[in-house]
Amino acid sequence: MKIKPKRLEKGQTIGVVSPASPSFYKSEIVRGISTLKEWGFNVVTSDNLSRRYAYLAGPDKARAGDLNEMFSREDIDAIFVTQGGYGSARLLRYLDFDIIRENPKIFIGFSDITSIHLAILKKTGLVTFHGPGMSRFNTQDLTPYTEEQLFKALSSPDPIGEIVPADETKWINIFRGGKARGELVGGNLSLICASLGTPYEIDTAGKIFFFEELETEPWLIDHMLTHLLNAGKLQEAAGIVVGECKNCEPSKLNPGFHVTFSLEDVLEDFLTPLGVPVIFGLPLGHTRDLATVPLGVEACIDGDEGSLFIEECATVD
Protein backbone atom coordinates (compact mmCIF):
# COMPACT_ATOMS: atom_id res chain seq x y z
CA MET A 1 0.00 0.00 0.00
CA LYS A 2 1.28 3.45 -0.95
CA ILE A 3 2.00 5.84 1.93
CA LYS A 4 2.69 9.56 1.51
CA PRO A 5 4.43 11.94 3.93
CA LYS A 6 3.09 15.30 4.99
CA ARG A 7 4.31 18.19 2.86
CA LEU A 8 7.09 20.42 4.08
CA GLU A 9 6.13 23.80 5.61
CA LYS A 10 8.15 26.59 7.14
CA GLY A 11 8.40 26.36 10.90
CA GLN A 12 8.69 22.56 10.83
CA THR A 13 11.69 20.64 12.11
CA ILE A 14 14.11 18.86 9.82
CA GLY A 15 16.26 16.03 11.12
CA VAL A 16 19.64 15.69 9.41
CA VAL A 17 21.45 12.34 9.15
CA SER A 18 24.53 10.85 7.46
CA PRO A 19 23.57 7.30 6.47
CA ALA A 20 26.62 6.82 4.26
CA SER A 21 29.88 8.81 4.25
CA PRO A 22 30.72 11.87 6.33
CA SER A 23 31.29 15.22 4.69
CA PHE A 24 34.98 15.77 4.02
CA TYR A 25 34.59 19.45 4.83
CA LYS A 26 32.79 19.98 8.11
CA SER A 27 31.93 23.49 6.97
CA GLU A 28 29.43 21.93 4.55
CA ILE A 29 27.36 20.85 7.54
CA VAL A 30 27.57 24.27 9.17
CA ARG A 31 26.56 26.05 5.97
CA GLY A 32 23.75 23.59 5.26
CA ILE A 33 22.23 24.01 8.70
CA SER A 34 22.50 27.77 8.36
CA THR A 35 20.65 27.66 5.04
CA LEU A 36 17.85 25.50 6.45
CA LYS A 37 17.39 27.98 9.29
CA GLU A 38 17.39 30.90 6.86
CA TRP A 39 14.60 29.13 4.99
CA GLY A 40 12.55 29.10 8.20
CA PHE A 41 13.09 25.56 9.51
CA ASN A 42 14.23 24.20 12.82
CA VAL A 43 17.10 21.72 12.62
CA VAL A 44 17.99 18.66 14.68
CA THR A 45 21.20 16.78 13.89
CA SER A 46 21.87 13.09 14.49
CA ASP A 47 24.51 11.83 16.89
CA ASN A 48 26.76 10.51 14.14
CA LEU A 49 26.34 13.37 11.70
CA SER A 50 30.02 14.30 11.55
CA ARG A 51 31.52 11.11 12.94
CA ARG A 52 34.34 9.52 10.95
CA TYR A 53 34.67 5.74 10.88
CA ALA A 54 37.02 5.14 7.95
CA TYR A 55 34.90 6.09 4.90
CA LEU A 56 31.66 5.86 6.89
CA ALA A 57 29.87 8.29 9.21
CA GLY A 58 30.03 5.85 12.11
CA PRO A 59 29.48 2.08 12.47
CA ASP A 60 26.53 0.54 10.63
CA LYS A 61 24.30 0.07 13.67
CA ALA A 62 24.95 3.63 14.79
CA ARG A 63 24.03 5.13 11.43
CA ALA A 64 20.93 2.96 11.18
CA GLY A 65 20.02 3.95 14.74
CA ASP A 66 20.17 7.62 13.76
CA LEU A 67 17.72 7.05 10.91
CA ASN A 68 15.39 4.91 13.03
CA GLU A 69 15.39 7.58 15.72
CA MET A 70 14.56 10.39 13.29
CA PHE A 71 11.58 8.46 11.94
CA SER A 72 10.34 7.61 15.46
CA ARG A 73 10.59 11.11 16.94
CA GLU A 74 7.33 13.06 16.97
CA ASP A 75 9.17 16.39 16.89
CA ILE A 76 10.84 15.61 13.54
CA ASP A 77 8.79 16.45 10.42
CA ALA A 78 11.23 15.58 7.61
CA ILE A 79 14.59 13.85 7.22
CA PHE A 80 17.39 15.18 5.03
CA VAL A 81 20.70 13.41 4.46
CA THR A 82 24.00 15.26 4.26
CA GLN A 83 25.29 13.37 1.21
CA GLY A 84 25.80 9.94 -0.32
CA GLY A 85 29.24 8.47 -0.74
CA TYR A 86 29.25 4.86 0.39
CA GLY A 87 27.68 2.65 3.04
CA SER A 88 23.89 2.99 2.83
CA ALA A 89 23.34 -0.66 1.90
CA ARG A 90 25.34 -1.75 4.95
CA LEU A 91 22.70 -0.44 7.34
CA LEU A 92 19.55 -1.86 5.67
CA ARG A 93 19.46 -4.96 7.86
CA TYR A 94 19.36 -2.72 10.91
CA LEU A 95 16.53 -0.44 9.80
CA ASP A 96 13.20 -0.76 11.60
CA PHE A 97 10.74 -0.71 8.72
CA ASP A 98 7.77 -0.92 11.10
CA ILE A 99 8.81 2.40 12.64
CA ILE A 100 9.26 3.93 9.17
CA ARG A 101 5.86 2.67 7.99
CA GLU A 102 4.06 3.94 11.10
CA ASN A 103 5.75 7.35 11.03
CA PRO A 104 5.76 8.50 7.38
CA LYS A 105 7.98 11.52 6.80
CA ILE A 106 9.76 13.18 3.93
CA PHE A 107 13.07 11.44 3.32
CA ILE A 108 15.38 12.89 0.67
CA GLY A 109 18.79 12.10 -0.80
CA PHE A 110 20.36 10.55 -3.89
CA SER A 111 23.40 8.67 -5.18
CA ASP A 112 24.36 6.03 -2.55
CA ILE A 113 21.07 6.82 -0.76
CA THR A 114 19.39 4.90 -3.61
CA SER A 115 19.81 1.75 -1.48
CA ILE A 116 17.64 3.24 1.26
CA HIS A 117 15.03 4.52 -1.19
CA LEU A 118 14.65 1.07 -2.72
CA ALA A 119 14.41 -0.61 0.68
CA ILE A 120 11.86 1.81 2.11
CA LEU A 121 9.63 1.60 -0.97
CA LYS A 122 9.84 -2.19 -1.06
CA LYS A 123 9.26 -2.76 2.66
CA THR A 124 6.85 0.06 3.55
CA GLY A 125 5.34 1.66 0.42
CA LEU A 126 6.44 5.10 1.64
CA VAL A 127 7.03 7.68 -1.09
CA THR A 128 10.56 9.11 -0.74
CA PHE A 129 12.44 11.74 -2.72
CA HIS A 130 15.44 11.49 -5.03
CA GLY A 131 17.02 14.89 -4.52
CA PRO A 132 19.97 16.89 -3.20
CA GLY A 133 21.80 16.27 0.06
CA MET A 134 22.13 19.04 2.60
CA SER A 135 25.86 19.39 1.92
CA ARG A 136 25.10 21.50 -1.15
CA PHE A 137 22.69 23.83 0.65
CA ASN A 138 24.88 26.90 0.39
CA THR A 139 25.28 29.86 -1.94
CA GLN A 140 28.29 28.27 -3.63
CA ASP A 141 26.76 24.90 -4.55
CA LEU A 142 22.97 25.31 -4.53
CA THR A 143 21.68 26.62 -7.85
CA PRO A 144 18.36 28.45 -8.20
CA TYR A 145 17.05 25.54 -10.28
CA THR A 146 17.91 22.94 -7.62
CA GLU A 147 16.31 25.06 -4.88
CA GLU A 148 13.17 25.73 -6.91
CA GLN A 149 12.70 22.08 -7.81
CA LEU A 150 13.31 21.01 -4.21
CA PHE A 151 10.45 23.08 -2.82
CA LYS A 152 8.23 22.32 -5.79
CA ALA A 153 8.49 18.64 -4.87
CA LEU A 154 8.35 18.89 -1.08
CA SER A 155 6.08 21.85 -0.37
CA SER A 156 3.61 22.24 -3.23
CA PRO A 157 0.06 20.84 -2.83
CA ASP A 158 0.07 20.06 -6.56
CA PRO A 159 1.88 17.43 -8.63
CA ILE A 160 5.29 18.55 -9.90
CA GLY A 161 4.30 18.24 -13.53
CA GLU A 162 7.02 18.29 -16.17
CA ILE A 163 10.64 17.86 -15.16
CA VAL A 164 12.12 20.57 -17.32
CA PRO A 165 15.82 20.86 -18.19
CA ALA A 166 17.70 23.40 -16.14
CA ASP A 167 19.04 25.04 -19.26
CA GLU A 168 17.03 25.44 -22.47
CA THR A 169 20.18 24.71 -24.45
CA LYS A 170 20.38 21.21 -22.93
CA TRP A 171 19.66 18.44 -25.42
CA ILE A 172 17.26 15.61 -24.54
CA ASN A 173 18.15 12.57 -26.61
CA ILE A 174 15.15 10.50 -27.71
CA PHE A 175 16.11 6.88 -28.30
CA ARG A 176 12.55 5.71 -28.81
CA GLY A 177 9.25 7.58 -28.96
CA GLY A 178 5.83 6.76 -27.59
CA LYS A 179 4.06 7.38 -24.29
CA ALA A 180 3.79 5.30 -21.14
CA ARG A 181 2.55 5.70 -17.57
CA GLY A 182 3.51 4.02 -14.33
CA GLU A 183 5.04 4.59 -10.92
CA LEU A 184 8.46 6.24 -11.01
CA VAL A 185 11.28 4.09 -9.60
CA GLY A 186 15.04 4.18 -9.84
CA GLY A 187 18.15 6.03 -8.78
CA ASN A 188 21.86 5.38 -9.15
CA LEU A 189 22.59 2.53 -11.56
CA SER A 190 25.33 0.89 -9.48
CA LEU A 191 23.13 0.72 -6.39
CA ILE A 192 20.13 -0.50 -8.38
CA CYS A 193 22.20 -3.42 -9.69
CA ALA A 194 23.47 -4.13 -6.18
CA SER A 195 19.86 -4.55 -4.99
CA LEU A 196 19.28 -7.58 -7.22
CA GLY A 197 19.01 -10.84 -5.32
CA THR A 198 18.32 -9.06 -2.01
CA PRO A 199 15.07 -8.46 -0.12
CA TYR A 200 15.24 -4.87 -1.37
CA GLU A 201 15.42 -5.69 -5.09
CA ILE A 202 14.01 -3.04 -7.40
CA ASP A 203 10.61 -3.72 -8.98
CA THR A 204 10.38 -2.31 -12.50
CA ALA A 205 7.29 -4.19 -13.73
CA GLY A 206 4.99 -1.66 -15.41
CA LYS A 207 7.02 1.20 -13.92
CA ILE A 208 8.77 4.26 -15.34
CA PHE A 209 12.36 3.30 -14.60
CA PHE A 210 15.05 5.97 -14.36
CA PHE A 211 18.75 5.73 -13.63
CA GLU A 212 21.84 7.89 -13.58
CA GLU A 213 25.54 7.31 -13.04
CA LEU A 214 28.76 9.20 -12.27
CA GLU A 215 32.29 8.88 -13.65
CA THR A 216 31.73 5.39 -15.00
CA GLU A 217 33.14 4.21 -18.31
CA PRO A 218 30.62 3.07 -20.94
CA TRP A 219 31.83 -0.54 -20.81
CA LEU A 220 30.98 -0.64 -17.09
CA ILE A 221 27.53 0.77 -17.79
CA ASP A 222 27.25 -1.94 -20.45
CA HIS A 223 28.09 -4.46 -17.71
CA MET A 224 25.38 -3.11 -15.39
CA LEU A 225 22.72 -2.92 -18.10
CA THR A 226 23.57 -6.49 -19.08
CA HIS A 227 22.99 -7.49 -15.46
CA LEU A 228 19.59 -5.76 -15.42
CA LEU A 229 18.69 -7.29 -18.78
CA ASN A 230 19.62 -10.79 -17.63
CA ALA A 231 17.52 -10.24 -14.50
CA GLY A 232 14.53 -9.21 -16.64
CA LYS A 233 14.36 -5.72 -15.14
CA LEU A 234 14.77 -3.71 -18.33
CA GLN A 235 12.19 -5.75 -20.24
CA GLU A 236 9.57 -5.24 -17.51
CA ALA A 237 9.71 -1.43 -17.50
CA ALA A 238 6.94 0.59 -19.17
CA GLY A 239 9.36 3.38 -20.05
CA ILE A 240 12.95 4.37 -19.31
CA VAL A 241 14.46 7.74 -18.42
CA VAL A 242 18.23 8.14 -18.25
CA GLY A 243 19.42 11.15 -16.30
CA GLU A 244 22.53 13.14 -17.04
CA CYS A 245 25.48 10.81 -16.48
CA LYS A 246 28.34 13.07 -15.47
CA ASN A 247 31.79 12.22 -16.83
CA CYS A 248 30.71 8.79 -18.09
CA GLU A 249 33.27 8.82 -20.86
CA PRO A 250 35.70 6.15 -22.10
CA SER A 251 39.29 6.40 -20.99
CA LYS A 252 41.59 7.61 -23.72
CA LEU A 253 44.21 5.15 -24.89
CA ASN A 254 45.42 7.87 -27.25
CA PRO A 255 45.28 11.49 -26.01
CA GLY A 256 43.81 12.53 -29.35
CA PHE A 257 40.64 10.47 -29.62
CA HIS A 258 38.34 7.88 -28.00
CA VAL A 259 38.69 4.30 -29.20
CA THR A 260 35.59 2.66 -27.80
CA PHE A 261 31.79 2.98 -27.64
CA SER A 262 30.30 6.17 -26.27
CA LEU A 263 27.68 6.15 -23.54
CA GLU A 264 25.04 6.95 -26.17
CA ASP A 265 26.11 3.91 -28.16
CA VAL A 266 25.69 1.64 -25.15
CA LEU A 267 22.32 3.09 -24.19
CA GLU A 268 21.01 2.81 -27.72
CA ASP A 269 22.22 -0.78 -28.02
CA PHE A 270 20.47 -1.92 -24.83
CA LEU A 271 17.40 0.29 -24.54
CA THR A 272 16.07 0.91 -28.06
CA PRO A 273 15.20 -2.78 -28.74
CA LEU A 274 12.99 -2.89 -25.61
CA GLY A 275 10.08 -1.36 -27.53
CA VAL A 276 9.23 1.26 -24.86
CA PRO A 277 9.77 5.03 -24.73
CA VAL A 278 13.36 5.93 -23.82
CA ILE A 279 14.83 9.40 -23.27
CA PHE A 280 18.24 10.55 -22.05
CA GLY A 281 19.52 13.78 -20.49
CA LEU A 282 17.17 15.02 -17.79
CA PRO A 283 18.77 16.61 -14.68
CA LEU A 284 18.32 13.60 -12.41
CA GLY A 285 21.89 12.78 -11.52
CA HIS A 286 25.22 14.07 -10.24
CA THR A 287 24.77 17.43 -11.89
CA ARG A 288 25.04 20.98 -10.62
CA ASP A 289 21.34 21.48 -11.41
CA LEU A 290 19.33 18.64 -9.89
CA ALA A 291 15.59 18.09 -10.01
CA THR A 292 13.90 16.50 -7.00
CA VAL A 293 11.53 13.68 -7.95
CA PRO A 294 9.28 11.49 -5.77
CA LEU A 295 9.72 7.74 -5.97
CA GLY A 296 6.60 5.58 -6.03
CA VAL A 297 4.13 8.04 -7.58
CA GLU A 298 2.49 8.01 -11.01
CA ALA A 299 4.53 9.50 -13.83
CA CYS A 300 4.28 9.75 -17.60
CA ILE A 301 7.08 9.59 -20.15
CA ASP A 302 6.51 11.20 -23.52
CA GLY A 303 9.18 9.82 -25.79
CA ASP A 304 7.96 11.87 -28.74
CA GLU A 305 8.58 15.16 -26.93
CA GLY A 306 11.47 13.94 -24.73
CA SER A 307 9.57 14.73 -21.53
CA LEU A 308 8.88 13.27 -18.10
CA PHE A 309 5.81 14.34 -16.12
CA ILE A 310 5.11 13.65 -12.44
CA GLU A 311 1.33 13.35 -12.45
CA GLU A 312 0.60 12.50 -8.83
CA CYS A 313 1.19 14.66 -5.77
CA ALA A 314 3.75 13.02 -3.50
CA THR A 315 2.68 14.60 -0.20
CA VAL A 316 -0.48 15.11 1.86
CA ASP A 317 -1.79 17.88 4.08
Q: Is residue 148 part of a domain?
A: no
Q: Is residue 316 part of a domain?
A: no
Averaged pLDDT of the chain? 95
Tell me the pLDDT tens digit for each residue of 79-134. Answer: 999 999 999 999 999 999 999 999 999 999 999 999 999 999 999 999 999 999 99
Calculate the CA 55 to chain-centre distance: 21
* Catalytic residue list contains 111: yes
pLDDT at 257 exceeding the cut of 60: no
| Euclidean distance between CA atoms 71 and 81, whole angstroms | 13
Sheet holding 42-45, edge to edge: 42-45, 13-17, 78-81, 106-109, 128-130, 293-295
Please indicate, yes or no, whether residues 275 and 188 belong to a single structural domain of this protein. Answer: yes
Q: Is residue 66 part of a domain?
A: yes
As a whole-number percent, the residues of the chain with pLDDT over 70 amount to 97
* Catalytic residue list contains 115: no
Average of per-residue pLDDT across 259-288: 93
**Domain of 254, in residue numbers:** 161-310
Average of per-residue pLDDT across 194-222: 96
Please indicate, yes or no, whether residues 167 and 131 belong to a single structural domain of this protein. Answer: no
pLDDT at 19 exceeding the cut of 80: yes
Of 21, 117, 195, 212, which one is the catalytic site residue? Answer: 212
| Residue 249: per-residue pLDDT | 87
pLDDT at 32 exceeding the cut of 90: yes
**Total domains in the fold of the chain:** 2
Please indicate, yes or no, whether residues 30 and 121 belong to a single structural domain of this protein. Answer: yes
| Euclidean distance between CA atoms 310 and 245, whole angstroms | 21
Please indicate, yes or no, whether residues 183 and 297 belong to a single structural domain of this protein. Answer: yes
Average of per-residue pLDDT across 70-78: 98
Please indicate, yes or no, whether residues 109 and 171 belong to a single structural domain of this protein. Answer: no
**What is the band of 1 on the pLDDT scale with cuts at 50, 70, 90?**
confident
**What is the band of 255 on the pLDDT scale with cuts at 50, 70, 90?**
low
Of 135, 217, 286, 298, which one is the catalytic site residue? Answer: 286
* Catalytic residue list contains 135: no
As a whole-number percent, the residues of the chain with pLDDT over 90 amount to 88
| Residue 299: per-residue pLDDT | 98
pLDDT at 285 exceeding the cut of 60: yes
CA-based nearest residue to 81, from 42, 37, 130, 124: 130
| Nearest-10 crossing angle of helices 218-230, 263-271 | 10
Average of per-residue pLDDT across 311-316: 98
Global pTM?
0.95
Of 88, 111, 195, 307, which one is the catalytic site residue? Answer: 111
